[in-house]
Amino acid sequence: MTHLRWGILGASKFARDQMGPALNAARRGKLVALATSSADKAVPFDAFATGITVYDSYEALITSPNVDAVYIPLPNHLHVEWASKAMDAGKHVLVEKPLAMHASEFDQVIAKRDATGLLAAEAYMIVHHPQWLRAKALYEAGAIGKLVRVSGAFSYDNSADVSNIRHDPSKGGGAIPDIGVYIYGAARFVTGEEPDEILSTDIRRENGVDVWSHVTARFPSFHYTGVVSMRMAPWQEMVFHGEKGVMRLSAPFNANLYGEARIELQTQGDDGPEVQAIRYPADNHYVHQVEAFNGSVLDGVAYPCPLEFSKGTQNMIDMVWAKDNAEARL
């Protein structure tokens, strides 16, 4: 096998606008199939994946001998089910985040991955972007000294889009499942640490889903604070504040959509603050992610972001829910 033949379960907007083009543009892979019951929704995919085969059911796609790997952008509550079915059919799977609603649900997918020898991964694309790889390397090299504080923020406003699936609690909606995975997982990725304790939660809900939250946590060597919201002006950043410097990442989660991805490193020189700006104007983390996946399957090398890492982020989310529930009972 010289390249991976990809299929997509469902013609979602994100699959159409971001991951579909990435699957087709990534080296050593090609988008060849789409499962959707709507012929109209399939039309835009043919514009960048000419000749794509359209199946009218998910089952037909995952059992096709012409598909090697499946990308799953279905509603959150369907991820584990269809990842398992795809692996049962012999397909490698890349599943949108969050892969599961609870950390324990990862175990089923991990066990099936190990039993089948197939690659299964959550589509946590940021760790494949050179902005994040450099940030981790700078931190590990001591560029900001001993870490004291990490803060993260990610927001958008979808209040007018009342039919948005993120507003449906039965389908795993909410801001924390949707974008909390980024600001929680990013802190874990750079530092290699896991939270000891969730110190506080302030969560506002509408119709059963969280739309705004402020969370603080204690990690072994630093304090963490994070805000995510579906009711604020679009914004995203991560800040790592140490005793000798500050590292700020702009557009850390949607590079080139929220602006240019940059690392701003501020340290104290003999004559005052010194600021270094490291720019990433062109990298596409979705393409990098798919290329990493293709390489892992075709070359038999370890995937850079295994399910065990993704389970750790979900475990932090579970800790947030548990803390919030405990505070609500007081």
Q: Which residues have a catalytic role annotated? A: 97
Tokens of 136: 């981790």
CA distance 166 to 87: 27
CA distance 36 to 58: 7
Nearest in space to 131 (alpha carbons), one of 191, 195, 186, 196: 186
Q: Identify whether the C-beta of residue 57 lies closer than 8 Å to the C-beta of residue 89.
A: no
Nearest in space to 209 (alpha carbons), one of 179, 241, 244: 179
Contacts of 193 (CB under 8 A, 6+ apart): 187, 219, 220, 221, 222
CA distance 179 to 218: 20
Residue 230 backbone dihedrals phi, psi, to 5 degrees? -105, 20
Nearest in space to 309 (alpha carbons), one of 127, 150, 96: 127
Q: Identify whether the C-beta of residue 177 lies closer than 8 Å to the C-beta of residue 169.
A: no
CA distance 286 to 121: 14
Residues, the chain: 330
CA distance 197 to 216: 9
Q: Identify whether the C-beta of residue 99 lies closer than 8 Å to the C-beta of residue 314.
A: yes
Local structure of 182: helix, strand or coil: helix
Strands 231-242 and 147-157, by their bridges, are antiparallel
Nearest in space to 217 (alpha carbons), one of 190, 199, 239, 243: 199
Tokens of 145: 């000294």
